[in-house]
Structure 1
Amino acid sequence: MKRETTITFIGAGSMAEALVSGMTKTLYQPEQIIITNRCNQKRLEYMKKTYGVRIETNKEKAVKEADIVILAMKPKDAAEGIISIAPMIGEHQLIISVLAGVTTETIVSLIGKNVAVIRAMPNTSATIGQSATAISQGRFATETHLAIAKTLFETVGIVTVVPEHDLHAVTGLSGSGPAYVYYLVEAMEKAAEEIGLDRTVAKELILQTIIGAAQMLQATNKHPSILRKEVTSPGGTTEAGIQVLERYRYQEAVVACIKRATERSEELGKALVSSSLPRAAAPSR
Structure 2
Amino acid sequence: MTNIVFIGAGSMAEAIIKGLLEEEKVSPSSICVMNKSDEKQLHYLNAKYKIEIMCTKKLALQKADLVFLAMKPKDAIQACKEIASFLNKQAIVVSVIAGVSIKTIESYLGDRPIARVMPNTSASVGLSASALCWNEKINNVAKKEIINLLESIGTVKVVQEVDMHVITALSGSGPAYLYYFAEQFEAAAVQHGLSQEDARQLFIQTMKGAAYMLMKGEDEPAELRRKVTSPGGTTEAGIEQLMFHKVDEAIFACISAAQQKSRTLGEQFE
Shorter-chain TM-score tier: over 0.9
Find 1:50's aligned residue among 48, 51, 70. Answer: 48
Structure 1: which 5+ runs fail to align? 274-285
- In structure 1, how many angstroms separate the alpha carbons of the residues matched to 2:70 and 2:128? 16
- Give the equivalent residue in structure 1 for 2:125: 128
- Are 1:17 and 2:4 an aligned pair? no
Find 1:221's aligned residue among 200, 206, 218. Answer: 218
The alpha carbon displacement at 1:59 in A equals: 3.0
- Are 1:177 and 2:174 an aligned pair? yes
Higher relative contact order (CA 8 A, sep 6+): 1
The alpha carbon displacement at 1:114 in A equals: 1.6
- In structure 2, how many angstroms separate the alpha carbons of the residues matched to 1:50 and 1:247? 50
The alpha carbon displacement at 1:192 in A equals: 2.2
- Give the equivalent residue in structure 1 for 2:77: 79
- Give the equivalent residue in structure 2 for 1:168: 165
The alpha carbon displacement at 1:233 in A equals: 1.4
The alpha carbon displacement at 1:231 in A equals: 0.8
- Give the equivalent residue in structure 2 for 1:32: 30
Find 2:228's aligned residue among 231, 237, 256. Answer: 231
- Are 1:145 and 2:142 an aligned pair? yes
- Code of the residue aligned with 2:47 in structure 1: it is K
The alpha carbon displacement at 1:57 in A equals: 5.4
The alpha carbon displacement at 1:262 in A equals: 1.1
- Are 1:193 and 2:190 an aligned pair? yes
The alpha carbon displacement at 1:216 in A equals: 0.6
- In structure 2, how many angstroms separate the alpha carbons of the residues matched to 1:187 and 1:22? 31
Counterpart contact for 1:8–1:35, Cα < 8 Å: yes
- In structure 2, how many angstroms separate the alpha carbons of the residues matched to 1:15 and 1:248? 36
Return the TM-score normalized by structure 2. 0.95
- In structure 1, how many angstroms separate the alpha carbons of the residues matched to 2:161 and 2:237? 42
- Give the equivalent residue in structure 1 for 2:95: 97
- In structure 2, how many angstroms separate the alpha carbons of the residues matched to 1:23 and 1:250? 39
Return the TM-score normalized by structure 1. 0.90
| 2:85 aligned counterpart, secondary structure | helix
| 1:155 aligned counterpart, secondary structure | helix
Q: What is the correspondence of 1:253-264 to structure 2 with a 5 Å cutoff?
A: 253-264=250-261
**Matched residues, percent identical?**
43
The alpha carbon displacement at 1:103 in A equals: 1.1
Instruction: Name the stretch that deviates more: 13-22 or 60-69.
Output: 60-69
- In structure 2, how many angstroms separate the alpha carbons of the residues matched to 1:81 and 1:68? 16
The alpha carbon displacement at 1:198 in A equals: 1.6
The alpha carbon displacement at 1:37 in A equals: 0.9
The alpha carbon displacement at 1:144 in A equals: 2.4
Counterpart contact for 1:94–1:116, Cα < 8 Å: yes
Instruction: Name the stretch that deviates more: 55-64 or 18-27.
Output: 55-64
The alpha carbon displacement at 1:87 in A equals: 0.7
Counterpart contact for 1:105–1:139, Cα < 8 Å: no
Find 1:248's aligned residue among 245, 253, 266. Answer: 245
- In structure 1, how many angstroms separate the alpha carbons of the residues matched to 2:150 and 2:161? 17
- In structure 1, how many angstroms separate the alpha carbons of the residues matched to 2:144 and 2:259? 26
- In structure 1, how many angstroms separate the alpha carbons of the residues matched to 2:49 and 2:241? 46
The alpha carbon displacement at 1:50 in A equals: 2.5
Find 2:115's aligned residue among 107, 115, 118. Answer: 118
| 1:19 aligned counterpart, secondary structure | helix
- Code of the residue aligned with 1:38 in structure 2: it is K
- In structure 2, how many angstroms separate the alpha carbons of the residues matched to 1:221 and 1:97? 35
Structure 2: which 5+ runs fail to align? none
The alpha carbon displacement at 1:242 in A equals: 1.2
The alpha carbon displacement at 1:52 in A equals: 2.5
- Code of the residue aligned with 2:211 in structure 1: it is A
The alpha carbon displacement at 1:32 in A equals: 2.0
- In structure 2, how many angstroms separate the alpha carbons of the residues matched to 1:58 and 1:40? 16
- Give the equivalent residue in structure 2 for 1:208: 205
Instruction: Name the stretch that deviates more: 201-210 or 16-25.
Output: 16-25
The alpha carbon displacement at 1:202 in A equals: 1.6
Counterpart contact for 1:37–1:57, Cα < 8 Å: no
Find 1:66's aligned residue among 61, 64, 67. Answer: 64
Counterpart contact for 2:61–2:88, Cα < 8 Å: no
